[in-house]
């Protein structure tokens, strides 16, 4: 194993340089446009969940989906796959087209 002095140009922490530590400011995340399709679908999902008197935790347990994933989808921060869309539609007892109504 070479020491930092034997390998110029690489510090002993070089492999960690790309990872921010807690003392460094984190880069800001660009806000998601309020009207993009992910945001619109997220609002629709939240509306349907609340209409069915479900919390995110209830939905997660009932549908077998991680609660934080549901939260990210509702906030428009992540995309959702077709199989998960089908699980949600079946769990809410609505069609896929009704799931996308007014989006």
Q: Which CATH class is domain 33-99?
A: mainly alpha
DSSP 79: -
Q: Model's pTM, two decimal places?
A: 0.66
Q: What is the pLDDT along the chain (103 residues), one digit of tens a residue?
A: 544 445 444 444 444 444 445 455 555 555 556 789 999 999 999 999 999 999 999 999 999 999 999 999 999 999 999 999 999 999 999 999 999 999 9
Residue written as token pair 């960690």: 16
Domain boundaries, given as residue ranges, for the chain: 33-99
């Amino acid at each position: 194993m070479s020491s930092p002095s034997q390998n110029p140009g690489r510090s002993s922490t070089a492999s960690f340089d790309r990872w921010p530590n807690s003392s460094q400011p984190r880069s800001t995340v660009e806000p998601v446009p309020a009207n993009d399709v992910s945001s619109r679908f997220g609002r629709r999902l939240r509306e349907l969940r609340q209409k069915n008197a479900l919390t995110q935790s209830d939905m997660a347990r009932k549908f077998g989906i991680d609660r934080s994933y549901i939260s990210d989808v509702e906030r428009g921060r992540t995309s959702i796959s077709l199989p998960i869309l089908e699980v949600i539609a079946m769990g809410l007892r609505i069609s896929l087209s009704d799931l996308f109504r007014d989006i």
